[in-house]
Structures are given as structure tokens and as C-alpha cells.
Amino acid sequence: MHAPPHRLPAPLPPIVTYWEGPVSWLERLSAASIVAAGHELRIYTHTIADLRAQGLPASVHDVREILGPNPMADLYRARRSYAFYTDYVRLALLRNGRGIWSDLDFVFRQPLRTGTEGDDYVFGWLNPNRINNAILHAPAQSELIARYWEAITRVPIRTPWATGHIRVKRSLEILAGRRFPIHPERLAIGPRALTYFIRRLGLTQHARAKPAFYPLDDDEAHLLTQPDDAPARARITAETVAVHAWRGKLWSIGQSAPPAPASWLGQRRREFGV
């Protein structure tokens, strides 16, 4: 009787992201951890030559390959609102089946696999009320991607996911003939909108528990840079695939310098040779 053939594990999907501007120690650490986990890393950007010169362990691609002219995306980019512009890049990459999205401030602890039996959704709870989009994947032809993309690219844009106050203001703007919102940054097109569509489509069962991607809240990000790593380690569990380091928060509280060597992030820098 012959033993059944050994089945090799499916290859890991590529990780895709967007970056623009200077590259810090944190982006280098994130890139190194992604590659060490076994993923190919693909970074999309407008500044191709500059980013390639940084020597990150990634292939660098022109973001215009996947996101052409787009009125709402172009509005955010013109206003230098890159976090909101990135929401469009993220969805464009998923619509084109390019890989799993990850912000470039995650430190991976293990490979990130999609689910079994055709479950290609990857996202996680940030808190009991909100699913975050810093790590995100859904099938390219899924209703989630189609409805989310249509909603945030429509002109004039409407915001059924927003607070009542914002919805009323946007409706009045549209009645006044304003195709584009006066304050587009208030439209909450990121995690709030994503959570709205996930709930509407009955997909919350796919969301991974908070420790998978967000073991620390943004107001705890400083714990990752402290010389005593015990408070950070207490929040990171065996369930944690990747740790969101909350770059924006660290930079806002003046912790953009390389962290203490004994800190959780400092140890990871040494581990990955960054």
C-alpha cells in the first residue's frame, strides 16, 4: 500500500503596499520582517527611482499601473492627504488581484496565509466596533470590493457609513451642486467605511480577533520602544501574526528615532539585521 503523496503547502501570496517619502528604520524593519516570513514584497509608488535607491528587499512598481486618473483619489493627493489617497491605492491593488495589502509599519512574526476552502478574506478587529484596513484582502471579484470601490469613487460621493452629522452636511453640499466635498478628510472612507460594508454583507465572521494584527492600540505604541519590553510582550500572543507599530502615533509623540536596543522593536531590528 502506497503512502499518499506529500502535499506541499501553497505558496504564500505577495504582500503589497504603497510608500511615498523618506524611508525610516521602521519601514526597513517592516519590509525585512515581511520577507523573512516568506512573502514577496511589492511596493507601489510615484517616486520609483528614489524608492529603488533605498535598497529595500522589495520590487518597486509604478502605482499608476493600477490606479489611473480618479477624481476623488486625485483630490486627496492634491491636498497631500496621503492616508486617504492610500485608501484608493489599497482597493485598486485588491481589485487587480495583486496580493494582500499591509501597511509598511507592521512587524511580521509569522507568514500571513489566506484561509482554507476558498476563504480569501483577511482583515481584523481593531476594537469591538471597528475592523481596520491596515492589513486587508478580499477576492478581487467579491461584492465587498465592488461595493466599497464604487462608493468611494462615485462623484458626487455619498457617505452612508459616516455619522449623521456628516451625512446631512454632504447631502446639503450635493443639493448645492458641490460634486466634491468641502472637507473630504471628514468622510471616513477608511476603516469606518470598510466596517460598514463588511457588516452590510454579513462578512464579520471572517474578521480575525484583535491580537492577530492589533495587539496594541495606538495609544500603547510607545510600549514597543521602551527599554523594558515586558509590557509589549504581555500584549503579543501566540495568535499574533503581525504587530502594528502605529508609525503615525510614534512620530506624533516624538519617537521617530531608532528605539532602545532592549525594547521590543529594538530587538526586532537586531533580529532582522536592520
> Which residues make Cβ contacts (< 8 Å) with residue 122, sequence separation at least 6?
100, 112, 114, 115, 135, 136, 137, 138, 206, 208
> Could you tell me the three cell numbers for 13?
501570496
> Could you tell me the three cell numbers for 54?
533605498
In angstroms, the CA 195 to CA 137 distance is 13
List pLDDT tens digits, range 164-212: 888 888 889 888 888 888 888 888 899 999 999 999 999 999 999 999 9
The band of 70, judged by pLDDT with boundaries at 50, 70 and 90, is very high
Q: Contact at 8 Å (CB) between 189 and 105? A: no
* For residue 5, pLDDT beyond 60: no
* For residue 149, pLDDT beyond 80: yes
Does this model's pTM top 0.95? My answer is no
Classify burial at 140, counting beta carbons within 10 Å of its beta carbon; exposed 0-12, middle 13-18, buried 19 or more.
Answer: middle
Give Cα separations from 69 to 88, 125, 165 (angstroms). Answer: 11, 32, 30
DSSP secondary structure letter of residue 216: S
Q: Is 188 left (phi over 0), alpha (psi -120 to 50) or beta?
A: left
Residue 211: is the preceding peptide bond cis (ω within 30°)? Answer: no
Mean pLDDT of 241-253: 97
The band of 119, judged by pLDDT with boundaries at 50, 70 and 90, is low
Mean pLDDT of 222-240: 96
Mean pLDDT of 78-88: 93
Instruction: Pick the more confident residue, 154 or 27.
Output: 27
